[in-house]
Structure 1
Amino acid sequence: MFISPMLLQTAPGPSSRSDNIYEPKIDGHRLIYSQDSEDVHLYTRHNNECTRQYPEIANYAFPYDIDLDGEIACIDPLTGAVDFDSVMSRFQARRSDTIRRLTKELPVTYVIFDILRYKGEDLRNRPLMERKAILREITLPNAHFGVIPYIEGAGEALFAQMQARAMEGIVAKRKNSVYETGRRSHAWQKVINWTYTEVYITGYRKQEFGWMAAVPGTSGKLRPAGVIELGVSPLHKQAFRGVTPQLVTGEDKEFVHLEPRLRAKVRMRNWTKSGMLRSPVFTEFIL
């Protein structure tokens, strides 16, 4: 049975409250593990079933009914870093032969951070630390399952470690918080370790909003780096519309192309392996 997960608010920065625990933020995708008898189903946060994609998780059951919340991650065996691109390769696989191959080439780990049902009992109204204690005692089916570590109080120190290791950030959780199904709650907050860069705006979408971004390539020429969709205020959009008519160089079915004379600062969740901005957010124009 799918349980809509509790969602995170965004905090402006790390804290070290004594009534919070702090966890590393894993750079994968959210996964709800649901087992009734020996029937296992895996779901994304948007209720998309992905049981077939992760046989190393779905084919191994607990000896009781259980629902878990966590993150699917791929760990680079050489660096120990979490590899988001590899997770997406696993998630997008649909052919049985591709799934079998990727299970060997890009094995996943299910990093569990909450237990929602245990031996048929709904635990969501119990305080977080009670749920953590139950989770700590269960025996995991195989080495592809793990439980997220946490510390009490020292959120700023943990965030500094995440920055030093170029990891995604941290999550702060109130110790006495219940599990608020399908809601974004201040009891759980994320602090993202943003990366900042400068880009050239080289065009815009004709239909839904989006600015084309480019960055200098190895040859010095600009190369495409993604589309900026977030963080742009109505005032910035108005200023953009005021200057773009004189910069138009052409258009295609989807985009109007511009001379690369507008620059902007963006924040993002790092670069993809193909050199694209990951989740870019507009910060400001560079004059």
Structure 2
Amino acid sequence: MEFISPMLLEQVDKPFSDGRFIFEPKIDGHRLILSRSNSETRLFTRHNNDVTAKYPELIMDGPDIVLDGELAVMDPDTGIPDFELTMARFQSKRSRLPISYVVFDILRHDGVDLRDLPLLERKAVLDRVVSDSPTMSKIACIDGHGEDLWDAIVARNMEGVVAKWKDGRYHTGKRTDDFVKIINYTYADVHIAGYRKGDFGWIAHVPREGGGLRPVGVIELGVPPTHKQAFYGVVKPLITGEDRNFVYVQPQIKARVKFRNWTKSGMLRSPVFVDFIFRV
């Protein structure tokens, strides 16, 4: 049974339109490689973990094939992929939340390796050999008009857009600008209330309704060395205490962060440092 390491995406900051590209919604789930050979289906995460037993709905008869896509659970109210529900299904042995496997590429069919074909030729094969079902569907795309799709994505508060060069080959396990992603980030201003003693991380707080501050997560990404140096150069007088893992400080230093979304428990999902609001 064949696992193919999935192609990775470069990231760009702004949406664009270009007739050389197609544009797809970015599905907020987890990457899944479906590999079927000799009537046996196996499912793999992007890191080659076999998760076949977790998704029996995707085990079905059909041609020998390797597909690349995103596994998601949709919010029943909005029909939009819900990452927390997706992780709840992934992490539970008993959950049977309904899944949707959204397929965006085909890498092998009936013993033929398709990765050196241009993207649009692979898409034509995918359209011919994969039929939509209650648990599997081919991703929709728009030709050239990336900014129009971006506006629709932002209006629905979805994760972002993927731009794919029409002539792009499938570069296994590599990150190239043939395929790029544009993330629909949310922004927030936070107070830095402490820092981790081991691996880098700043504790982020935001104002609480009714007064005071509440924790919303740890900032680990996006902080330049110069900003770390500036922070640690001025923070010592602000220290209020510590425990085994963290040093706590008066939350006087503020920063802007970008993040995927607020979780249902009111935390920042994957916060990335943008800048200090008042430079230290």
Deviations 1:237-274 (A, max 9, x none): 01110111111111111111111111110011111111
- In structure 2, distance between residues paired with 1:211 and 1:80: 35
Deviations 1:191-220 (A, max 9, x none): 111111011111111011011111122332
Asked whether 1:282 is paired with 2:273, we answer: yes
Secondary structure (helix, strand or coil) at the match of 2:229 reads helix
Asked whether 1:9 is paired with 2:10, we answer: yes
- In structure 2, distance between residues paired with 1:60 and 1:156: 37
Any conservation in 2 of the 1:60–1:141 contact (CA below 8 Å)? no
Match of 1:194 in 2: 185
Deviation at 1:12, TM superposition (A): 2.1
Match of 2:146 in 1: 155
Aligned 1:19-58 pairs, distance under 5 A: 19-57=20-58
Q: TM-score by structure 1 length?
A: 0.94
Match of 1:84 in 2: 83
Aligned 1:182-261 pairs, distance under 5 A: 182-261=173-252
Match of 2:106 in 1: 115
Any conservation in 1 of the 2:132–2:138 contact (CA below 8 Å)? no
Deviation at 1:139, TM superposition (A): 3.9
Q: In structure 2, what residue type is equivalent to 1:60?
A: M
The equivalent position to 1:172 in structure 2, one of 155, 163, 166, is 163
Structure 1 unaligned regions, length at least 5? none
Secondary structure (helix, strand or coil) at the match of 2:53 reads coil
- In structure 1, distance between residues paired with 2:132 and 2:15: 34
Deviation at 1:141, TM superposition (A): 7.3
Deviation at 1:142, TM superposition (A): 3.5
Asked whether 1:75 is paired with 2:74, we answer: yes
Asked whether 1:60 is paired with 2:60, we answer: yes
Deviation at 1:163, TM superposition (A): 0.7
Secondary structure (helix, strand or coil) at the match of 1:40 reads strand
Deviations 1:86-125 (A, max 9, x none): 11111112x3xx1xxx21xx21100000000111211111
Deviations 1:121-179 (A, max 9, x none): 11111110011011111243741001000011100111111111111110000001110
- In structure 1, distance between residues paired with 2:177 and 2:211: 45
Secondary structure (helix, strand or coil) at the match of 1:52 reads helix
Q: What is the RMSD of the two structures over their aligned residues, measured on CA atoms? A: 1.2
Structure 2 unaligned regions, length at least 5? none
Q: TM-score by structure 2 length?
A: 0.96
Q: In structure 1, what residue type is equivalent to 2:173?
A: G
Deviation at 1:80, TM superposition (A): 1.5
